[in-house]
A and B are shown apart, each in its own frame.
Chain A
């Protein structure tokens, strides 16, 4: 405990700070504590093609013609990419024109999912505060960035001013002890948490993820966990930056990381310890992300389509898991298997590693890097009554474009084991 005076003659005890409190303190010039309202400087602002057109309209309505810093604003065309219909084409044109007018970077249809593109290009570094007009902006918490999703008008305000108002969140501390069984992955850890605390278990809060299991995970695998923080209502899903994090940023961009650790005496709203050794493959059943079961309870459910990709699980490690499982095997003849690499770089790396060759030979349909079929715009809308197993983060009714389909969520290994067998399958037998 530090001792600090808030006015002469009076001593009060001030505890340490969480990662969120430290980042908001540094970006607002205040001693930011959970519950405070601050106006903070943001290091980067992002929008995608579902949200940017409304942000551009809001800027127009504000009478703002320029962005605060063209180097700190990017728009990514990923949700309906390439455009499937003329209405979307018009929205994409609005984004491209905005980029030309303001100098803000537009990542066009070949580039990939915003949440892979933004960190890959070094637009954020550890210690940053950033906002994106997409709810899964919380993904970069794995990189020690306080990143959070906002709507288009908040995004416009941030693009105009480089600032946004925030309520400094309370923090839930989640510690994963033990070690992962073979065939069990970071996706299973976050689905397990969603099943435990529910879709509003961390609403208005940030989560800090700690423990030896997190330390052992690759950066790719950590991003899967932070990506889904919003699925339990959280504003951010933060992790410490370690040597792996810093190595990941080498050669990406020019900014210097400023990692932020929580203080040992930080005050958490709640703390939860999970024994990862006891967690098997998890599946979220239709139509809610917290409708989670151990895989044993859904094994054998027939599936018509599998999806590997999205901002949750479309990274190189995920494609590698799939390729190794499908080496010398084939996708079940009654199943469509759709693969969307998270970004152009992921696609190139997966090609160089031979993963794409293996997946295509096994029967996968590889689509343009982007959000793919996850948001129901194109690239694999299921038919009435069909079951889909996906590596995505949401299984809401109608999410993939047909409200009469049923979406199950699992790890890349669970999806691949299932597309091989044509029914939901425990992947552990492939990791014996």
Chain B
């Protein structure tokens, strides 16, 4: 079985960027490792400690990442060892920021996932395998532009490789 393997940590709808990383921390530093301990703090003070050791998937409902343009949001999730975010839908700026910084985002029916389920996320095949429940959840592939950016290793690497946009 290929793909990213980890446990699901499940939350609700409309998780905003202040929940992911509060403004009171984000403006203080550019050290993401230090800020990551505050990831999701107001919603789940233990998020970082639970996810960091073995990695995990952040699973949510609709409109994940609504609110600010802060790129610290995907970055603190990455630095908390979040392997991917799975949600029914994403807010637009967060979705772009996640791809640009290398955090996989998967739009799928997360009603089929419970907190604590073991998942394997196969980005290439476009399927989430729920090992605990023995089910498979298909998801649509990334738009070609975003797939290309991810294939190049993110937007920074795309620019280094091509000297600008080459989409």
Contacts and interface: CB of A to CB of B under 8 A. Distances in A.
Interface of A: 37, 39, 49-51, 53-54, 57-58, 61-64, 79-80, 85, 87-88, 91, 94, 132-135, 137, 149-154, 156-157, 160-161, 163-165, 167, 199-200, 203-204, 233, 235, 288, 375-377, 381, 394, 396-399, 401, 403
Interface in B109-160: 143-145, 154-156, 159-160
B71 A233 contact: no
Contacts of B46: none
A51 B69 contact: yes
A138 B72 CA distance: 20
Interface string B19-34: 1001110111110000
B71 A163 contact: no
Contacts, number: 147
Contacts of B96: 150-151, 154
Contact of A200 (B24, B28, B63, B160): B63
Nearest to B164: A161
Contact of B30 (A39, A57, A401): A57
10 contacts: A79-B23, A88-B27, A157-B165, A161-B165, A167-B143, A200-B66, A233-B91, A394-B18, A398-B42, A399-B23
A80 B156 CA distance: 27
A377 B24 contact: yes
A153 B156 CA distance: 7
Contacts of B72: 54
A57 B100 CA distance: 14
Contacts of A91: 27, 29-30
Contacts of B63: 199-200, 203, 233
A203 B28 contact: no
Contact of A160 (B14, B100, B164): B164
Given A199-B63, A396-B67, A153 B154 contact: yes
B70 interface: yes
A297 B154 CA distance: 48
Contact of B92 (A199, A204, A377): A204
Contacts of B42: 397-398, 403
B156 to A, nearest CB: 5
Contacts of B145: 37, 165
